Structure 1
Amino acid sequence: MTQKLILVKSVILLITLTFSQLANAQERVNVTGTVVDKDAGVPLEYATVTFIDKTGEHSPQGGVTDFDGNFNIEVYKGTYKINVEFISFETKTYNNQNLNDNLNLGTISLGLNSDSLDEVVVRSETTQVEVRLDKKIYNIGKDLTTQGGTVTDALQNIPSVSVDVEGGISLRGNDNVRILINGKPSAMAGFDDTSIFQQLPADAIERVEVISSPSARYDAEGTAGILNIILKKEKTLGINGSISSTLGIPTNNTISTTLNLRTDKFNIFNNTGVYYRNSPGNAHYDNDYKSGSFDRITEDREYDRLRKGINTNIGMEYYLTDRSSITGTFFGKWGNDEDESNSYNNRYEDGSLNSSTLRNQLEGEDEETYQGSVNYINNFNDEGHKLTVDLQYAYDNEDKPNNIIETQSFPIDNLIDRQRVFENERKNEFLFQADYVLPKGESQFEAGFRINTEANKTQYTLEDFDLQNNNFSINESQSYNFNYDENVYAAYSQYGNKLGEKFSFLLGLRLEHTQLKGKAFSDYLDQDELVQEIGFDFDPNFDKKYTGLFPTVNLIYEIGDNENITLGYNRRINRPRGWFINPFPSRSSRTNIYQGNPDLNPAFSNTFDLGYLKKWDKLTLNSSIYYQRETDSFERIQQETDQTTIEGIDIIRSISINLATQQRIGAELGAMYNPSQKLRLNASVNFFRFETDGEYDGIDYGTESTSIFGRFSAKYTLPAKIDIQTNGFYFGPRKNAQTKNEGMFSMNLALSKEVIKDKLTATFNVRDVFNSRKRRGYTVSENFTSDSEFQWRERQFTLSLIYRFNQSREDRMREKRQQGGAGMDEEGEF
């Protein structure tokens, strides 16, 4: 039997037929047994056992095996044909079985099906999509362009997801995305700071869930939706794992390991990575001014970002009983980074060069992050009745010393300014949640609660260099403390059911109470003096509370076994994070600063999503149209501060504000096409339009923009079994209230060869082949215009080696099979 037919049967049995057995009270019998691999003797998890009634009185019945290959299936009395199936294995059939009493089929041994073996291996390497009522699941296959790369590199290849040149993550062109790790907020996501994804290895990911229409089970945070990154937690018997190493130009040296030890009572897993990377970048700014001492200033910046450190994620799952387990995990990250930038400025007056300066900034970052978590799960039965409880604590400490020197090189050489900054950020996060799932017949009820508290403390001291006395002294007006707490208390309930054979629904309601509390204070100024020094009016000691209901509706209509239509609605919230709130200016430039806005309020959105999925033998088509209306949406604007530098240059401030509304409408289309075992194609395109309406300080910042985002991937097997893969993307022109950005195209290229069969693989990678991943924009304000270009990371070449041990071909196939199906029991899917 082909792999496709077996997969279709498995899905039908899991989602529809096993539930139908619970709806009737007719007399039944139990059929038990164990399914194992004939050659290796190991149990086969998720093997399908199907009972076909010879009289046609009953619909097909059945179930799947558990982790130990055991099954216990209740069926109506009668005469049946019994099929036992597993992907890539031969089917075993029992004809004319009279089931009037309980029956034990004993141990059932299945042998490999050589005719389908190659097809299975090819498919397991392909990123595939699965559709649930509230999400799309992308199981990460052997994506060559991410070998030796980071989580950021892997996310760039997920449909609907885009990553900008600074590592910022967007969903369908909207950057208000909530990032979860294994279904929970996590220090591994950097407390919503996505820069950590540029250090974590890509091969630690098992799958990515794109949740554009989240159910009530999830946080209401993130108006664009949720990205849930599921990390690997291997469950293959014995000791197994892999070691990978990477060398790159510019410097990109990493070593990472994945280890797993599985016995009958426990499973120990670990992912550890050591990295040493240098990411050079550059930027160019050309500003024209209508007022001030200079009519034009150009700036060329060169960046060197050195990243070095180690991160590890280790855990153990202990099986209390056959149905319950407790898992403890620890995540640690220790980093020592250095960011050096050199800014070359030319200042013009009446078209002639007036002066040239050089600004050197060396910023360090010593960081330590710890997170401990405990998870308890109790599966009361095989039908999905379960309880999960999670407890998590995370701590992050960052020291950021910053040394700034600015000198003049024309018309004379002299020291203009010198500053030192000492900044410390500490973050504590606590999470406690419980989720309960109760299936009943074809329906399913869920309920749960979550408590999530986060405390942030920032200490900032600025020292100015006294040119006359040749020493440093504290700048009392620019040294401060800022504390910011975010506490969220939530409870939810949702109910799902299947009406007939084709229609399913999931209705939910989530209640969230949010407290946003902040205090800005100084050791040298009182709060009134501090507000005046900052330069705009705000409440330095605020305590805001919001209570809201967040309904969700998700519908799915199954046109056929491989075709469905989905419709979703949800209400979401976007809470301002710490860097949006902190009112104290950044020091990256004396003339261009960024400040947070403590008066920011959360934004709320209502979103509708209509999707269509169709699968053929070699082609999968996935499409959707969506509409979103957001109130009090965030917008970053630039404005004059009415302050100047000692040379008379106007200081420009970037600040985030609440606009009145933003409306977004779009459509996306994705296709996966595998015409042969040698060629695999994947493409997606997202077209969207948004309109914003609102004003700030009497200035209208309303705008409208239309853009497009497209992605294409192709993988082909060359002679000598060398795989070649290209990934390209295009982000079309777009604009906001003040800035127009040009389109951007980038492409990656990779070659891979299995050096030692089933053991050692080598991959050569070129990221950003044409060195074109640059953001180009043009900004217009009342008193200035700015033409800019920014490149976060220049073109990079890497060579990676991956060595696997104690993973036979069958083990790796089974491992990938488990990874592909793990989404069905991770969170009580309906």
Structure 2
Amino acid sequence: MSILAFFPIIGFAQEYELTGKVIDASMDFPLEYASISAKSIEDGSIVNGGVTNREGRLSIKLEKGTYNLEIEYISFEIKVFSNFTIDKDTNLGIIKLGIRPDNLDEVTVVAETTQVEVRLDKKIYTVGKDLTTAGGTVSDALGNVPSVTVDIDGAISLRGNNNVRILINGKPSSVAGFGDQDVFQQLPAEAIESVEVITSPSARYDAEGTAGIINIILKREKTLGFNGSIRGTLGDPKNSGAFVDLNLRTENFNIFTSLGYTDRTRPGNAFFDTKYTGISNFDRIIEDREYDRTGQNFNVNAGVEYFIDDMSSVTASLFTRFGDDRDMTTNTNRRFVNGIENSTTARIEDELEDDKSFQYSMNYEKRFDKENRDHKLTADLQYSSSNETKNGIINENQTLPSDSLVAFQDNLETEKRDSYLIQADYVKPMGDAQFEVGFRGDYSDQTQGFLVQRQNLETGNLETDEFVSSDFDFQQNITAVYSQYGNKFEQFSFLLGLRYEHTQLKGTTTPLVSGNSDRIFDFDKNFGGFFPTVNLVYELGEDENVTLGYNRRINRPRSWFLNPFPSQSSRINVFQGNPDLDPSFANAFDLGYLKRWEKLTLTSSIYFQRETDAFERVERDTGRLTEEDGIPIIENIPINLATEQRYGAEVGVLYNPTKWLRTNLSFNYFRFESEGSFEGIEYGATNESYFGRFSSNVVLPGKIQWQTNAFYRGPRVNAQTETDPIASIDLALSKDFLKDDNLTISLNVRDLFNSRKRDQFTITENFTSNSSFQWRVRQVTATLVYRFNQQKREQNRRSNNDDGDFGGS
């Protein structure tokens, strides 16, 4: 966007404008932040200067006269125009810079760790070269992005807030499970080109997610000719995978495909020690769980882009994923009376899961100005579908004081999701200003079937559980329009937008046993609203700026938060949705500061958010007892709190003192205060916490790269639960071989000390609970990558210069 340009800070009386466009000579990609200096013929002093914007365009003012012009970009050859005379507005045209031969090795290293690029409304992190995520998943890659944390059970948060919207290529996607974050523990990290962290989204983006937006950009090769790469992984616990990226680019077509197959084992464990006060036949229950999860996944991302002419193109693409998983959970349950073990049961849950997801997309782009690629119209059509079937057998036997069958259960869970997306965006640059308008229709239908059959211990027959068995149909229909306008005046830039969204959330519940009318929880919620956005930038210098952002956001309850039928992972600890849950709304402010030096980049911000009807998950005694042994059933349910205020600060430092050492440090502190009650119980709380991460990449002798990632999250507290701090370290080594470094072998260890565990202590009126949960144990993975017709340095420069901005409204 032209409004994102940096402006010259040195100005005299200005009579004529000097313009041009700077590009990479070998790849025809624009070079952002390339500098131009106009020097005096007499003494060589700089008369005026500036840097290029994201399109590689430059613009400076000069008095009539003769100058020496120098145009340069880090690691590239300097372009010199000696004795250049200007006496009118002049366009230098296309200026091509070639890479300096003596800097090829340095360029090879530059993108091996997560890098950051700051834009007006977002930060872009190129994670595709992070050594510690080789052979890992999308969740692993997100866990290395500043401001983002991935919880022990895979929940993704932004600045400590899990109300975050996750997009794929700027759009909602069945690939992302329509909001289900579990899918990110299946998809390979190798599929990612970059991650956009959008904490102050412009009106172009949908208003979902009170914390902001995480936009995952998938890889898409753009180099002319036929090229690609082959990758293989082996790991312990089992982590086998094979991946192929192929691309054919001609003058008229760009055909791209990525194939991936993984076969993984993910062991985990959990521990619960619950003490009751007068509501149970037992005063203490200790529960040990062992998770043995295995799965094979195959995914394809393929498409073709046809260039109709120099100004328009159409792209058709397909993303599909097939999953075949098996989850085995062994749950040992020890019950105590007056401190003496009274009975013990062993519960084995064996679940087979078959998952198929498809996404078909069609995109049309029309540009109206050869000199300004931002003047364009884009239109998108997308259909997404997902089918999932889970067959689960639960067998629970008593082992103390005698051997006997306690419970046998046969579960069948089906889920089908269909989603349609219609989107159009028009962008009109007007000199330094830019106008934008767009429409989005996002319509989805999700049907869940849940059949639970329990064995009658007296007759031995399977009987349908009337309290749980049901069909739940959920529809979410969102229609949105937006417009935004941006401009720049000297050192000041702004982007103002207004978005309107109308939402329908409709749920139909059908008990599988006729006449069970007390288990019907139908709802039809309709609401609309305006969502203004403001983003301001003031340039203190060509490498220093201050930003201020404001936006209004919405958090819509997902289907599993609304589904009123309880989960079956445990007989005594269940999760149940709340069909009375309403959406929450938030107003967010963000004040940021950026400063660049030659070897150091500092990013920082302070932020504040006030949210009404914020979501909170609370535990309560249901008043029901298990039929088999009279144990009270504890329920976890989402509720709306009255308000939540959240504020914090974050800082990030990229320091690269030499070509053999690169470091990345980030720290985030946040505090929130919530208030509200549910069923006469106050659930307000005050909590503060923090997290930080450090990453370093060292080039050892023999060009061996050594990367270290360290993460620490401080303790947390909410209305009922205290959570202990978590610390972990990841290590990786990598070495390139063959001519042009086309072969790379790497070894990484995730969670070196096996310390990534969540330890909690919960207090309620009727019970207290100590728990520990480890979703995945330490992982060691070896990766081999071979590239053909694709030099490593070209990949790195492309990932840094390609904006990858799929946008989205």
Give the shorter-chain TM-score range: over 0.9
Query: Cα gap change, 1:92/1:519 in structure 2, threshold over 3 Å: closer, same or farther?
Result: same
Higher normalized contact order (CA 8 Å, seq sep 6+, divided by chain length): 2
Aligned to 1:529: 518
1:465 Cα deviation after fit: 1.6
Deviations 1:537-557 (A, max 9, x none): xxx221111111111111111
Instruction: Give the AA of the match of 1:280.
Output: P
- Whether 2:226 is the aligned partner of 1:239: answer yes
- Whether 2:423 is the aligned partner of 1:433: answer yes
- Whether 2:573 is the aligned partner of 1:592: answer yes
1:150 Cα deviation after fit: 1.2
Conserved? CA contact 2:697–2:705, under 8 Å: yes
State the distance in 1 between where 2:202 and 2:738 align. Answer: 45
Conserved? CA contact 1:155–1:163, under 8 Å: yes
- Whether 2:750 is the aligned partner of 1:761: answer no
State the distance in 2 between where 1:794 and 1:735 align. Answer: 25
Out of 799-808 and 47-56, give the one that drifted further. 47-56
State the distance in 2 between where 1:794 and 1:119 align. Answer: 36
> What does 1:507-586 correspond to in 2, within 5 Å?
507-526=496-515, 528-531=517-520, 540-586=521-567
Conserved? CA contact 1:569–1:607, under 8 Å: yes
> What does 1:31-430 correspond to in 2, within 5 Å?
36-37=25-26, 46=31, 88-96=75-83, 112-140=99-127, 142-291=129-278, 292-381=280-369, 382-383=371-372, 384-430=374-420
Query: Cα gap change, 1:546/1:80 in structure 2, threshold over 3 Å: closer, same or farther?
Result: same
Conserved? CA contact 1:245–1:255, under 8 Å: yes
State the distance in 2 between where 1:369 and 1:87 align. Answer: 43
Partner secondary structure for residue 771 of structure 1: coil
Number of aligned positions between the proteins: 796
- Whether 2:804 is the aligned partner of 1:817: answer no
Deviations 1:402-441 (A, max 9, x none): 1000000011001111010111100001111111111112
Deviations 1:325-369 (A, max 9, x none): 111110010111111100001100011110000000011110110
1:190 Cα deviation after fit: 1.5
State the distance in 2 between where 1:755 and 1:63 align. Answer: 36
State the distance in 1 between where 2:188 and 2:224 align. Answer: 24
Instruction: Give the AA of the match of 2:171.
Output: K
Query: Cα gap change, 1:85/1:713 in structure 2, threshold over 3 Å: closer, same or farther?
Result: closer
Structure 2 unaligned blocks of 5 or more: none
Instruction: Give the AA of the match of 1:221.
Output: E
State the distance in 1 between where 2:561 and 2:158 align. Answer: 20
Deviations 1:632-653 (A, max 9, x none): 0000001111110121111111
State the distance in 2 between where 1:770 and 1:708 align. Answer: 21
State the distance in 2 between where 1:708 and 1:27 align. Answer: 51
Instruction: Give the AA of the match of 2:685.
Output: T
Aligned to 1:695: 677
Query: Cα gap change, 1:288/1:44 in structure 2, threshold over 3 Å: closer, same or farther?
Result: closer
Partner secondary structure for residue 235 of structure 1: coil
State the distance in 1 between where 2:647 and 2:670 align. Answer: 6
State the distance in 2 between where 1:755 and 1:605 align. Answer: 52
Selected match of 1:796 from 779, 793, 797: 779
Query: Cα gap change, 1:727/1:111 in structure 2, threshold over 3 Å: closer, same or farther?
Result: closer
Query: Cα gap change, 1:471/1:509 in structure 2, threshold over 3 Å: closer, same or farther?
Result: same
Conserved? CA contact 1:136–1:209, under 8 Å: yes
Instruction: Give the AA of the match of 2:127.
Output: I
Partner secondary structure for residue 110 of structure 2: helix
Deviations 1:247-276 (A, max 9, x none): 111111111111111111111111211011
Partner secondary structure for residue 658 of structure 2: coil
Instruction: Give the AA of the match of 1:366.
Output: D
Conserved? CA contact 1:476–1:525, under 8 Å: no
Query: Cα gap change, 1:287/1:376 in structure 2, threshold over 3 Å: closer, same or farther?
Result: same
1:80 Cα deviation after fit: 6.8
1:773 Cα deviation after fit: 0.5
Aligned to 1:480: 470
Conserved? CA contact 2:617–2:637, under 8 Å: yes
- Whether 2:656 is the aligned partner of 1:656: answer no
Instruction: Give the AA of the match of 2:298.
Output: I
Aligned to 2:754: 771
Conserved? CA contact 1:31–1:74, under 8 Å: no
The CA RMSD over aligned residues, in Å, is 3.2
- Whether 2:706 is the aligned partner of 1:729: answer no
- Whether 2:703 is the aligned partner of 1:714: answer no
State the distance in 2 between where 1:115 and 1:13 align. Answer: 32
- Whether 2:793 is the aligned partner of 1:807: answer no
State the distance in 2 between where 1:355 and 1:83 align. Answer: 83
Aligned to 2:663: 681
Instruction: Give the AA of the match of 1:662.
Output: E
Instruction: Give the AA of the match of 1:466.
Output: N
Query: Cα gap change, 1:13/1:499 in structure 2, threshold over 3 Å: closer, same or farther?
Result: closer
Selected match of 2:584 from 603, 608, 617: 603
Out of 96-105 and 288-297, give the one that drifted further. 96-105
Instruction: Give the AA of the match of 2:744.
Output: T
Query: Cα gap change, 1:370/1:76 in structure 2, threshold over 3 Å: closer, same or farther?
Result: farther
Conserved? CA contact 2:128–2:189, under 8 Å: no
Q: TM-score, normalised by structure 1?
A: 0.90
Conserved? CA contact 2:24–2:31, under 8 Å: no
Conserved? CA contact 1:431–1:452, under 8 Å: yes
State the distance in 2 between where 1:482 and 1:319 align. Answer: 45
State the distance in 2 between where 1:638 and 1:274 align. Answer: 39
Query: Cα gap change, 1:89/1:130 in structure 2, threshold over 3 Å: closer, same or farther?
Result: closer
Conserved? CA contact 2:110–2:796, under 8 Å: no
Query: Cα gap change, 1:655/1:77 in structure 2, threshold over 3 Å: closer, same or farther?
Result: same
Query: Cα gap change, 1:227/1:824 in structure 2, threshold over 3 Å: closer, same or farther?
Result: closer
Instruction: Give the AA of the match of 1:739.
Output: T
Q: TM-score, normalised by structure 2?
A: 0.92
Deviations 1:272-325 (A, max 9, x none): 110110100001100001121000000110001112120111111111111221
Structure 1 unaligned blocks of 5 or more: 1-9, 532-539
Aligned to 1:637: 618
State the distance in 2 between where 1:717 and 1:33 align. Answer: 31
